[in-house]
Amino acid sequence: MAISRAQLVKELEPGLNALFGLEYKRYDNESAEIYVTESSDRAFEEEVMLAGFANADVKAEGQGVSYDYAQETYTARYTMETIALAFAITEEAIEDNLYDRLASRYTKALARSMSNAKQVKAAVPLNNGLPSVATYKTGDTVSLFSTNHTTIAGACSNTLSTQADLNETSLEQALIDIAAMTDERGLKIAARGVKMIVPSANQFNAERLLKSQGRTATADNDINAVNSMGMIPQGYRVNHFLNDSDSWYIITDVPNGMKHFERTPLTTSMEGDFDTGNVRYKARERYVFGASDYRGIFGVEGA
């Protein structure tokens, strides 16, 4: 259905002083703080988790060496999605408008809608991967944030055993748990946190916890260990598209964690219809957000 003069009555009346509602500011590309972007030329991408060898054994004198085998464990699959939106304007509406070029104004609104949709989709793994939601699964068929990611050697965790609000104790425990992460065969992987992601409601806690010289919420004259040890060197970033107001996340230095595949960048097009004279405008892009190695992020939903 095309936008006609019936939807633009006030815009066609003399004496109109201002048009508003389309030119709000937009948040930056906040997903870039979470995901590593790679290009794709396929309908889907797959990334396979490999398991190396277990801990080496002692070889007794005169005895044969023990053998181990490597194997694949799970596959993370990224299926490209097409996101698109369009609008049409009647020929008469364009002719009779007195104040602005309708096309220019509404193409800006179209770009804003496409940008917002991308940020909402980027937040889905974080929002839906929390233990209480658990609808976003990783390649091992377990919720993105879980204490029971099954491995050959047992289990690996990328969330707290008991969910907790962001405070000094919970943050320190999260960093301890990250340092204790193991690979598929149970070997330590020397992981560390590099950046915190928080919703807007949690940014004040993050500011105090990461930047205070002394401990927060205590009368003790102790140093802030997280700050002085540089445990989260890249600080924190606010993501306004997170649903849980007391959730918090730590991006780790584990490679091949959170991935964003771009199949087709944002493109726009327009065409006129010969019969009606209507002009149609369309925006379209293809991409997908997801996770390969869940060790690349540690997430907590709060108490």
pLDDT in tens, the chain (303 residues): 665 545 554 454 454 444 445 566 888 899 999 999 999 999 999 999 999 999 999 999 999 999 999 999 999 999 999 999 998 888 887 777 744 566 777 888 888 899 999 999 999 999 999 999 999 999 999 999 999 999 999 999 999 999 999 999 999 999 999 999 999 999 999 999 999 999 999 999 999 999 999 888 777 779 999 999 999 999 999 999 999 999 999 999 999 999 999 999 999 998 988 888 888 889 999 999 999 999 999 999 998
Q: How far is CA 243 from the centre of its chain?
A: 12
pLDDT at residue 5, rounded to an integer: 47
Range of the domain at 221: 79-300
pLDDT at residue 26, rounded to an integer: 81
The verdict on residue 42 lying in a domain is: no
Count of the separate structural domains present in the chain:
1
pLDDT at residue 2, rounded to an integer: 66
pLDDT at residue 104, rounded to an integer: 75
The verdict on residue 173 lying in a domain is: yes
pLDDT at residue 4, rounded to an integer: 52
pLDDT at residue 47, rounded to an integer: 96
Q: Bridge-partner residues for 120, per DSSP?
A: none
d(CA 258, CA 33): 10
d(CA 261, CA 144): 18
The verdict on residue 261 lying in a domain is: yes
The verdict on residue 290 lying in a domain is: yes
The verdict on residue 283 lying in a domain is: yes
The verdict on residue 291 lying in a domain is: yes
pLDDT at residue 141, rounded to an integer: 95
The verdict on residue 257 lying in a domain is: yes
Residues 49/50/53/55 CA torsion (nearest 10 deg) = -20
Residues in Cβ contact with 234 at an 8 Å cutoff, skipping those fewer than 6 apart: 194, 195, 251
The verdict on residue 64 lying in a domain is: no
Nearest to 78 by CA among 39, 116, 51, 52: 39
